[in-house]
Amino acid sequence: MPAYPPPMSRIILGVTGSIAAYKAADLASQLTKAGHRVTCVLTKSALEFVTPLTLSTLSKNPIITDLFAEKEGWQPGHIQLADEADLLLIAPATANILASMAHGFANDALTAIALATRAPILIAPAMNGKMWQHPATVKNVETLRGFGAQFVEPAEGMLACGYEGVGRLAEVETILQAIEAVLKAKK
């Protein structure tokens, strides 16, 4: 586990609908054990792969799954999270979320937070290799990089779809190292 600089950070962990979503549990657990305050935001499709109970237990925080399920108080919850975040990490990130973010859509809690936050955004994609290499995805990644988003490149290997190639979610340790680098650069 990398050593994180004190004080510990407020990390929003966005989880999207990828078979790699189960690795978000390990990320939430390790970040929480390191002392970070982790809030998980799941897209509707992420709920097909991982349960809110798992992530709320490991992060020790309530999970956000709905843009309109606001807490009590006057400030919209997604705006408060966007304002308080030290880092928005999206792992795994699907082609769909990359396209939504590149074009400024805010049609769920995660994309609304991504559009509203001024915190660094770190994206760890996971998808079929053909999808990752499609010109639309390549363009969306270029657009997001132009907006300042940083990426943990997908790894090569056997993909859930049965193909061999690039598109696997990077190893958790690699993502943790990238988080450490982003947080250190932010200080």
Residues labelled catalytic: 161
Q: For residues 174 and 178, give the distance between their C-alpha atoms in angstroms, rounded to a whole number.
A: 6
Q: CA nearest 124: which of 10, 8, 1, 21?
A: 21
Q: In what order do the strands lie in the sheet with 150-151?
A: 37-42, 10-15, 87-93, 121-125, 150-151
Beta bridge partners of 49: none
Distance, CA of 4 to CA of 45 (rounded, Å): 31
d(CA 169, CA 160): 11
Q: Burial, 69: exposed, middle or buried (Cβ in 10 Å; 0-12, 13-18, 19+)?
A: exposed
Burial label for 119, CB within 10 Å (0-12, 13-18, 19+), is buried
